[in-house]
Chains A and B, each alone.
Chain A
Amino acid sequence: MIEADGVGRTFTVRRQVVHAVRDLSFRVAAGEFAACLGPNGAGKSTTIKMLTGILTPTSGRVTVAGLDPSRRRTALARRIGVVFGQRTTLWWDLPLRDSLELVRLLYKVDRKVFRERLDEMADLLDLGGFLRTPVRQLSLGQRMRGDITAALLHDPAVLVLDEPTIGLDVVSKAEVRDFLRRLNAERGTTVLLTTHDLGDVERLCRRVLLIDHGRLAFDGTVDDLRATAPGRASIEDVVADLYLRSRGTPRTPHPAPLPARDLPSETA
């Protein structure tokens, strides 16, 4: 469903060529749920932007849902849904309901299909309470649910999410995760997300792609990922090891506990 073959993207910054992504190759099959991990600035967002047609790769080939994103951007837009955690795809000043109606018109979704879909989504994501609220007044959790709804109105085969759980509270996060898991399991939608939250990975993904310095540093299942560092109890430590290893500074095998802070004595 998603294929990248030797994909690279360079940027020229003050006459210096910077390789944001280089020689990246991977495949995500239809119906998979994959997470793209990597430290800040590793090239995750650049990769997502090449997969969705926002950026044109400088080398290599990308195919998503059978299309070359940069050449068939508009056709691709009808087959994929995209959610940005850091910015909304909705219209800031319009009520959520009107924003979604505009999305319906832009994607040419039939009115009846739209109504059914919106009812279903409103039920699953609990949108009822804020459909009439302007987007700018929504809480981050509400806005994210609205954004996910907007990305799925046209029933895309692939859903790409760039940091969908960033900044969400525990409850909103759980709701979003639960919804994505059901979407993948029940509708068979292929999902690719980027995240820094390893809870997302543990609870949702079978597949992990780890990007660092613009290259693919790891590609496998969550269990494979654990197996790279058998001594580590938590997946956070496993990933931290991988990040640091690619930076050339391995962590100490058993981190010393943090020194306890001297609490003000209350003996008085």
Chain B
Amino acid sequence: MIRTYALLAWTWTRAAAQYRLSFTLVTLGAFVVGGLDIAVIWVIFANTDTLAGFALSEVMLLYGASQLAFALADLLFGNVDRISQHIRAGTLDVMLIRPASPFAQVAADRFSPHRIGRAAQAAVVLGVALARLEIPLGRVWMVPVMVASGAVIFTALFTLGGALQFLLTDAPEVANAFTYGGAMLNQYPLSVYDARIVRGLTFVLPLAFVNWQPGLYVLGRPDPLGLPSWTGLLSPAVALALAAVAALAWRAGIRRYRSTGS
């Protein structure tokens, strides 16, 4: 599966590299557009010193971790949300007759290396936040763990969205609401939202485990909703559990696949 993915992704990368100027511009574009979100945060902090009790550097940490996790998932697996196009065009049939994982083939199809621009922007923000915060070594190890767990959570959501499209042949937007929508939501400390939303994001759609709960642990802050401080350490476990559910749903989707007319 990894081999298939790497082969196809490399093929598409070479194809993209043929148009060097276009590739450079689109990558830069992704970097700049990603930067607009952080600009909004700076505008907010031009008017206030804290947001829901968090200082600018802390918000930058939460933002950077979530955006980096999302950008990595989007770069590597975001194309899974095009499954409905593959179903309609019949290209999924072609993927199914090859001796390779259809998931890897869908994910790597039209792999867009320029999405690295957005990941780079998020990494810069995260780096600046870490440099300003001086987090003790005993807790800073959690930062790469939370980015990796977050990327797995977003990937699982992309996959669940893809699996859903086997049922509702034409509804990529339903899935996008959770993936892209989730990434938008996570840009701010979750305590700015209503407690019911935060509970939903903790126990139902576990987006709180992308950056909020592990972020609280890294920052050494108590949870405003009173969950114990070790909750953030559960992120890898939550990510793996969600990935397992997503894998099962995907398999069920492939087995239920109906193909198209001819």
**Can you name the residue of chain A whose Cβ is closest to the Cβ of B109?**
A91
Kindly identify which residue among A53, A73, A102, A162 contacts B7, using a CB–CB cutoff of 8 Å.
Answer: A102
Determine whether the beta carbon of B259 is less than 8 Å from that of A54.
yes
Determine whether the beta carbon of A77 is less than 8 Å from that of B99.
yes
Q: Mark B250-262, 1 if CB is under 8 A from A, else 0.
A: 0000011111011
Contacts of A82 in B (CB 8 A): 97
Kindly identify which residue among A53, A80, A105 contacts B96, using a CB–CB cutoff of 8 Å.
Answer: A53
Determine whether the beta carbon of A87 is less than 8 Å from that of B90.
yes
Judge if A178 is at the interface, Cβ distance under 8 Å. no
Kindly identify which residue among B15, B89, B99, B258 contacts A78, using a CB–CB cutoff of 8 Å.
Answer: B99
Judge if B196 is at the interface, Cβ distance under 8 Å. no
Judge if B20 is at the interface, Cβ distance under 8 Å. no
Judge if B4 is at the interface, Cβ distance under 8 Å. yes
Q: Roughly how many angstroms separate A52 CA and B257 CA in the complex, as a whole number? A: 13
Known: A45-B262, A49-B93, A86-B262. A106 touches B15 (CB 8 A): no
Q: Roughly how many angstroms separate A163 CA and B94 CA in the complex, as a whole number? A: 15
Judge if A98 is at the interface, Cβ distance under 8 Å. yes
Contacts of B11 in A (CB 8 A): 91, 94, 98, 102
Q: Roughly how many angstroms separate A93 CA and B110 CA in the complex, as a whole number? A: 10
**Can you name the residue of chain A whose Cβ is closest to the Cβ of B90?**
A87
Judge if A89 is at the interface, Cβ distance under 8 Å. yes
Judge if A26 is at the interface, Cβ distance under 8 Å. no
Contacts of B231 in A (CB 8 A): none
Least Cβ–Cβ distance between B10 and chain A, in angstroms: 10
The number of chain B residues with a CB under 8 A from chain A is: 23
Judge if A142 is at the interface, Cβ distance under 8 Å. no
A residues 98-140 in Cβ contact with B at 8 Å: 98, 102, 105-108
A residues 25-76 in Cβ contact with B at 8 Å: 45-46, 49, 52-56, 70, 73-75
Determine whether the beta carbon of A106 is less than 8 Å from that of B98.
yes
Contacts of A54 in B (CB 8 A): 93, 96-97, 257, 259
Determine whether the beta carbon of A84 is less than 8 Å from that of B99.
no
Determine whether the beta carbon of A74 is less than 8 Å from that of B93.
no
B residues 93-138 in Cβ contact with A at 8 Å: 93-94, 96-101
Kindly identify which residue among B94, B98, B255 contacts A87, using a CB–CB cutoff of 8 Å.
Answer: B94
Known: A78-B99, A84-B94, A93-B15. A106 touches B7 (CB 8 A): yes
Central interface residue in B91, B100, B255, B262, by most chain A CB within 10 Å: B262
Contacts of A77 in B (CB 8 A): 97-100
Q: Mark B200-235, 1 if CB is under 8 A from A, else 0.
A: 000000000000000000000000000000000000
Central interface residue in B15, B97, B257, by most chain A CB within 10 Å: B97
Determine whether the beta carbon of A55 is less than 8 Å from that of B259.
yes
Q: Roughly how many angstroms separate A241 CA and B12 CA in the complex, as a whole number? A: 51
Q: Roughly how many angstroms separate A82 CA and B259 CA in the complex, as a whole number? A: 16
Q: Roughly how many angstroms separate A108 CA and B4 CA in the complex, as a whole number? A: 10
Determine whether the beta carbon of B93 is less than 8 Å from that of A11.
no
Determine whether the beta carbon of B100 is less than 8 Å from that of A87.
no
Determine whether the beta carbon of A105 is less than 8 Å from that of B99.
no
Central interface residue in B11, B90, B98, B261, by most chain A CB within 10 Å: B98
Kindly identify which residue among B89, B100, B261 contacts A74, using a CB–CB cutoff of 8 Å.
Answer: B100
**Can you name the residue of chain B whose Cβ is closest to the Cβ of A55?**
B259
Q: Roughly how many angstroms separate A45 CA and B93 CA in the complex, as a whole number? A: 11
Contacts of B262 in A (CB 8 A): 45, 86, 162-163
Q: Roughly how many angstroms separate A21 CA and B60 CA in the complex, as a whole number? A: 58
Contacts of A52 in B (CB 8 A): 96-97
**Can you name the residue of chain A whose Cβ is closest to the Cβ of B91?**
A87
Determine whether the beta carbon of A70 is less than 8 Å from that of B255.
yes
Contacts of B97 in A (CB 8 A): 52-54, 77, 80, 82, 89
20 pairs across A/B with beta carbons < 8 Å? A45-B262, A46-B259, A49-B93, A49-B259, A53-B97, A54-B93, A54-B96, A55-B257, A56-B257, A74-B100, A77-B100, A78-B99, A80-B97, A87-B89, A87-B91, A89-B97, A105-B7, A106-B7, A106-B99, A162-B262
Query: What are the 8 A-B residue pairs with the smallest beta carbon separation, nearest first?
Result: A77-B99, A82-B97, A54-B96, A89-B94, A78-B99, A74-B99, A86-B262, A87-B90
Residue ranges of A at the interface with B (Cβ–Cβ < 8 Å): 11, 45-46, 49, 52-56, 70, 73-75, 77-78, 80, 82, 84, 86-89, 91, 93-94, 98, 102, 105-108, 162-163
16 more contacts with CB within 8 A, not counting A70-B255, A87-B91, are: A11-B258, A49-B259, A53-B97, A54-B93, A55-B257, A77-B97, A84-B90, A84-B93, A84-B94, A86-B262, A89-B97, A89-B98, A94-B15, A102-B11, A106-B100, A163-B262
